[in-house]
Amino acid sequence: MPLAKAILARQAKLGIPTVSKLAKRIGVSRSSLYNTLQGVHGLNAPTLKKYAKFLKVSPADLTLLAPRKTHRRTRRPAARAAAR
């Protein structure tokens, strides 16, 4: 995850000791930061701007590092019944 590596490298460079303090510094919730570091979800525009500002890059550059939103395809109940 290039975005996670970039965030953690900047955290180390700035000497920010905890994820809570890092989230506060970026301006996002701790759970949002954790999800971003784990690559759980994509980023919306306001959050993307906050990460870009923290990393001192443009939001456009950051979109190359950010995880893409993925959607799981699930079978509908009728499709599951028909498949049996």
| Contact (Cβ atoms closer than 8 angstroms) between residue 66 and residue 7 | no
**Cα–Cα distance measured from residue 60 to residue 66, given in angstroms and rounded to the nearest whole number:** 10
CATH code for residues 2-62: 1.10.260.40
Closest CA to 55 of 28, 31, 18: 28
Residue 69 has pLDDT above 70, yes or no: no
The domain segmentation of the chain, as residue ranges, is 2-62
pLDDT tens-digit series, residues 19-61 = 999 999 999 999 999 988 888 877 888 988 998 898 888 888 8
Instruction: For residues 24 and 11, give the distance between their C-alpha atoms in angstroms, rounded to a whole number.
Output: 12
Question: Which pTM does this prediction carry?
Answer: 0.68
